[in-house]
Structure 1
Amino acid sequence: MKSVSIADLMAQSGVAFGTSGARGLVSAMTDRVCFAYTAAFLQHLSAIGQFKHGTHVAIAGDLRPSSPRIMAACAAAVRHMGGAVDHCGFVPSPAVAAYGFAQGILSLMVTGSHIPDDRNGIKFNRTDGEVLKVDELAIRAQSVMLPDLFDGAGMLKDPAPAEPLVDVATAYIARYVEFFGPHALSGMTLGIYEHSAVGRDILVALVEALAGEAVSLGRSEKFIPVDTEAVRPEDQALARQWAAEFGLDAILSTDGDSDRPLLADEAGLWMRGDVLGILCARAMVIDAIATPVSCNSAVELSGLFAAVRRTRIGSPFVIEAMNGLVAEGRASVCGYEANGGFLLATPVAVEGRTLGALPTRDAVLPILSVLVDARRRGVTLSALQAQLPERYTFSERLQDYPTAQSQALIAHLEQGDEAAILARLTNMFGRLAGKADGIDRTDGLRIHFAGGDIIHLRPSGNAPELRCYTESDSPERAAALNGEALALVRDYSVPA
């Protein structure tokens, strides 16, 4: 047995906590590293009374090639710490989380979400919700005892076979069929862009269970990094092609671990996640919303909600704000992100049916609620979107842009007092958007311009990327502004 500091291990391996759990290169996520992180998670949760000897821990994973190995390493850590493993197989992140919450047990999901499969990650859940930033700090502060189970490369010398499969998919499907009703999608023809999403079969099953016609599209046995905030050009073209070819009412999809939705309208145009969030909250008759600063300002302009709280980007921050709204006594509370992931903090009742809370990122609820609402109103998805104020967002990123470079850029742009900062931003972006007249430092640097445009720069929390979010009064303008801003940033040299 050897004592290992998690903080030291994070520094050595480069596998660190970002906005959605611990992530890193697969080559760095050795069995030893994954075992240690899981042991530290359990050790921390033991200290606050959520884990003890004999407690069950649910484990699931996405369809990346590395996920089964990492799941086995996490399971070995659970057994070593005296727990029992509920092996949930390959199911969506919200499905294993919902199972854990219902059982009152911890859960974890092996997933890198939307990033390429040379990377992976582990997302940890408490018995009552996702781990928060305070939990992450406590996990980093742990030192754990590692047994002599690993070879010189940090891999398990004798991996144990997985426990018998625990079915969590059936209850996850039933949650939505019972709430929406068995005829909720009757008469709708819906394409399912399956690609390599772990929830692809569940989406087909849900559409059929709700009496819709499901058309399976684009299934892949090779992992495809579908990012719901930055939809690839080839996926945009495929959706338009499929919508025309099959006469679809909509196209449904998700990211790799199926906690972030993608929904395209009848023309095959993918809806923005922050618009989907507003429409879902309206359909679910939500009172109060927590949402990151990067999301569409139509949520305030619509006047549909009694309270809107803006947060940093990442579900832990959204959850903290949701908890605050619940503590205020708000009747119904949700959160959503620009990636479309929807979090339900309280039960909601619609037309005599009640849906229980699920305070973790979910893809199914926003997809189904918006489809059902469009059908109930007798309008297309594009017409449903047109009912909101005309504000449009777009996001893209510079890939292979080192985090240190992103941070240096932001630090340079933020030098001096506010007048100096605004002058520098006007000098840099003025030919694109005019005079900069306001900044928001909630997360990254969000720049407001006198003409109504917004440019928001933010280093990624889990990959060598610089994110850019833009907002304007037309989708074309938001997209063009984004491309121009990224091109300018890419060619910009921070003064020494």
Structure 2
Amino acid sequence: MSDLRARAEEWLGQDPDPRTRAELQAILDADDGAALADRFGARLEFGTAGLRGELGAGPNRMNRVTVMRAAAGLAARLPAGGRVIIGFDARHGSRRFADDTAAVLSGAGLRPEVFADPVPTPVLAHFTRAFADIVAGVMVTASHNPPRDNGYKVYWADGAQIVPPTDAEISAAIDAVGRVDELPLGEGWPVHEGADLYLDAVSSLRLGGDRDVSIVYTPLHGVGRDVLLTAFERAGFPAPTVVPEQAEPDPDFPTVDFPNPEEPGALDLALGLAEARGADLVIANDPDADRCAVAVPGPSGWRTLTGDEVGGLLAEHVLRHTTGGDRLVATTIVSSSLLRSIAAAHRVRFAETLTGFKWIMKAGGAQSSSGGRGGSSPHSEPGSSGGRGGSSPHSSPVRLVFGYEEALGYSVGDDRGVLVNDKDGIGAALAVAALAADAKRDGRTLLDLLDAQARRYGLHATSQLSIRVSDLSLITAAMARLRAEPPRELGGRRVESFDDLARPAGDLPPTDGLRFRLAGGSRVVVRPSGTEPKLKCYLEVVLPVDGDVAAVRARAAADLESLRADVSAALG
């Protein structure tokens, strides 16, 4: 307890924020050992996703001291005099954290530039790779986390999030930072106005010509609305109807329990408005607008599409509107295997990566150059894995035209390559609108297109099982148990192969994950979450379709439930 008090008092002496100083002083005055241990017994770890955590005092919280230390560590890894672009969302503390970052970077001899107002994450990511003198970007956001959280993402000069070993180098530099009240701080950095650079690029995506589609849109109290509406206008689409209760940025997210469009109930207001207006489509962004959710009307009411369903539809739409065998599409090991089949049918290259958009972008060579649309990638045959990314003397130049992950993340492009080297919920929304307008012109819906894909490639049905724990040792024990005694059968299907992804697996870097390949093309992937105390299981069954697609969907749903039950039992 005395050690924790000493750490807390040292922190109190350097904290520039009166609110967190008052919080910490109250804890010290109350001699609250549990609160001190929670805040000072650990620290937020800086990794490839940067920082993310609850707001409050101490190293295990997001606060001005934590942010200034992160900025100083980043500065130590960047070349002197380099330009750094800084964006922020509308969460509690985001603007202050952006200004603190700029002050530290400026004091370290860098040239920071801060957006004047909150911006979507894809705007920042696109800007980062647009100019040769930009060496990094920082986005202050916690994406779709609860209101009490905030976070800090770091982008490299290519506009992609950092990957190892850069994250470990920055983390080590953060550890070497002394007191933040002794850091040299600059002042008077430039302010960047507006999102025109991104808007010019996204509204010029060449992905179809039809525009007749009616859309209800929600930004879920985030920062996507103004940029999305302007992008739709510039691209020639009718203005989407915005859910009025969720239109304005609000860091408290008052109409949703959890500001994530994947969560049950998050889209209820949008679906109700769409039903009342007879809309063709519902589109939702998460609060920083890097994810995109889609819902469509069907025979039994409105249906929210899965990330894998949208990913498959967008992949074919992009490939129909682009040309050349040097195109690359990429997804992660936990997303549907459908994309591999689509790539093979269209005779383009395919890459499978670790979970996280930073790895998808690396498959397209995003971190082997300092800018531009597209990049280079290891040689990959049509329909085959593209490897870990980067370039080599034997690489064939490719254009990453589409990447996606099942968690509603998509990056769309045209013949010039992807627009953003990260998830882009606004570009994806435009592409979905174009796809729906094309289908409407032909007297079809997105559900009809899904059925057509099922007939062509087989039905790829996916689902998840997530287990939240209060003790992380339970996750470690469950993973060890599965490694020691992998099941021979899951969901009535024989386990044909088992990959421990912690060991080198082909072109994939090691990661804490397990993959079970089942008879008939089905599979299960189990991994600990990188951002939450969860064990996540990704389930897929693949069934041939010969006749009634609805009947096959019903069978797939039953098979997924059987698979879910067996995986749950195997995890104990």
Q: TM-score range with shorter-chain normalisation? A: 0.7 to 0.9
Q: Partners of 2:48 and 2:554 in 1: how far apart?
A: 29
Larger radius of gyration: 2
Q: How far did residue 456 of structure 1 move?
A: 2.6
Which residue does the alignment assign to 1:313? Answer: 355
Q: Partners of 2:346 and 2:527 in 1: how far apart?
A: 29
Matched, 1:86 2:151: no
Out of 401, 404, 411, the position equivalent to 1:336 is 404
8 A Cα contact 2:127 2:159, kept in partner: no
Which residue does the alignment assign to 1:437? Answer: 496
8 A Cα contact 1:91 1:198, kept in partner: yes
After superposition, the Cα gap between the structure-2 partners of 1:83 and 1:492, relative to the gap in structure 1 and judged at 3 Å, is: same
Q: How does 1:435-474 map to 2 (within 5 A)?
A: 435-442=494-501, 444-450=513-519, 453-472=522-541, 473=543
Q: How far did residue 91 of structure 1 move?
A: 0.8
Q: How far did residue 188 of structure 1 move?
A: 1.4
Matched, 1:255 2:286: yes
Matched, 1:74 2:101: yes
* Structure 1 residue identity aligned to 2:406: A
Q: How far did residue 125 of structure 1 move?
A: 0.9
SS in 1 for 2:310: helix
Matched, 1:140 2:166: no
8 A Cα contact 1:17 1:136, kept in partner: yes
Q: Partners of 1:117 and 1:486 in 2: how far apart?
A: 31
Q: How far did residue 254 of structure 1 move?
A: 1.5
Q: How far did residue 493 of structure 1 move?
A: 7.5
After superposition, the Cα gap between the structure-2 partners of 1:159 and 1:43, relative to the gap in structure 1 and judged at 3 Å, is: closer
SS in 1 for 2:364: helix
Which residue does the alignment assign to 1:21? Answer: 50
Matched, 1:204 2:204: no
Q: Partners of 1:13 and 1:483 in 2: how far apart?
A: 38
Which residue does the alignment assign to 2:16? Answer: none
Out of 271, 282, 297, the position equivalent to 2:305 is 271
* Structure 2 residue identity aligned to 1:437: E
Superposed CA offset, 1:107-133 (max 9, x none): 110111222232221110111232122
Matched, 1:179 2:205: yes
Out of 122, 128, 147, the position equivalent to 1:117 is 147
After superposition, the Cα gap between the structure-2 partners of 1:478 and 1:81, relative to the gap in structure 1 and judged at 3 Å, is: farther
Q: Partners of 2:228 and 2:429 in 1: how far apart?
A: 10
8 A Cα contact 2:462 2:560, kept in partner: no
After superposition, the Cα gap between the structure-2 partners of 1:482 and 1:15, relative to the gap in structure 1 and judged at 3 Å, is: farther
Which residue does the alignment assign to 1:49? Answer: none
Q: How far did residue 322 of structure 1 move?
A: 2.0
Which residue does the alignment assign to 2:369? Answer: none
Q: Partners of 2:42 and 2:66 in 1: how far apart?
A: 8
Between 133-142 and 328-337, report the one with greater CA deviation: 328-337
8 A Cα contact 2:118 2:223, kept in partner: yes
Q: Partners of 1:133 and 1:61 in 2: how far apart?
A: 24
Matched, 1:288 2:322: no
Q: Partners of 2:242 and 2:180 in 1: how far apart?
A: 47
Q: Partners of 1:482 and 1:395 in 2: how far apart?
A: 9
The percent of aligned pairs where both chains have the same amino acid is 24
After superposition, the Cα gap between the structure-2 partners of 1:227 and 1:87, relative to the gap in structure 1 and judged at 3 Å, is: same
* Structure 1 residue identity aligned to 2:279: L
Q: Partners of 2:556 and 2:355 in 1: how far apart?
A: 20
After superposition, the Cα gap between the structure-2 partners of 1:43 and 1:241, relative to the gap in structure 1 and judged at 3 Å, is: same
8 A Cα contact 1:251 1:265, kept in partner: yes
Q: How far did residue 363 of structure 1 move?
A: 1.6
Q: How does 1:257-406 map to 2 (within 5 A)?
A: 257-267=288-298, 268-285=302-319, 287-302=327-342, 303-323=345-365, 324-325=377-378, 327=391, 328-333=395-400, 334-343=402-411, 348-349=414-415, 354=416, 357-377=419-439, 378=441, 379-388=444-453, 389=457, 390-406=459-475
Between 364-373 and 309-318, report the one with greater CA deviation: 364-373
After superposition, the Cα gap between the structure-2 partners of 1:199 and 1:304, relative to the gap in structure 1 and judged at 3 Å, is: same
Q: How far did residue 236 of structure 1 move?
A: 5.2
Q: Give structure 2 stretches of 5+ with no counterpart.
A: 1-10, 12-38, 366-376, 379-389, 502-510, 544-551
Q: Partners of 2:472 and 2:355 in 1: how far apart?
A: 16
Q: How far did residue 288 of structure 1 move?
A: 1.7
After superposition, the Cα gap between the structure-2 partners of 1:263 and 1:402, relative to the gap in structure 1 and judged at 3 Å, is: farther
SS in 1 for 2:165: helix
After superposition, the Cα gap between the structure-2 partners of 1:144 and 1:126, relative to the gap in structure 1 and judged at 3 Å, is: same
After superposition, the Cα gap between the structure-2 partners of 1:14 and 1:304, relative to the gap in structure 1 and judged at 3 Å, is: farther
Between 133-142 and 63-72, report the one with greater CA deviation: 63-72
8 A Cα contact 2:86 2:112, kept in partner: yes
Q: Partners of 1:136 and 1:439 in 2: how far apart?
A: 30
* Structure 2 residue identity aligned to 1:292: T
Matched, 1:149 2:181: yes
* Structure 2 residue identity aligned to 1:43: A
Out of 224, 228, 232, the position equivalent to 2:263 is 232
* Structure 1 residue identity aligned to 2:498: I
8 A Cα contact 1:35 1:73, kept in partner: yes
Q: Partners of 1:314 and 1:439 in 2: how far apart?
A: 22
Q: How far did residue 330 of structure 1 move?
A: 4.5
Q: How far did residue 140 of structure 1 move?
A: 1.9
RMSD: 3.5
Matched, 1:35 2:48: no
Q: Partners of 2:287 and 2:347 in 1: how far apart?
A: 31
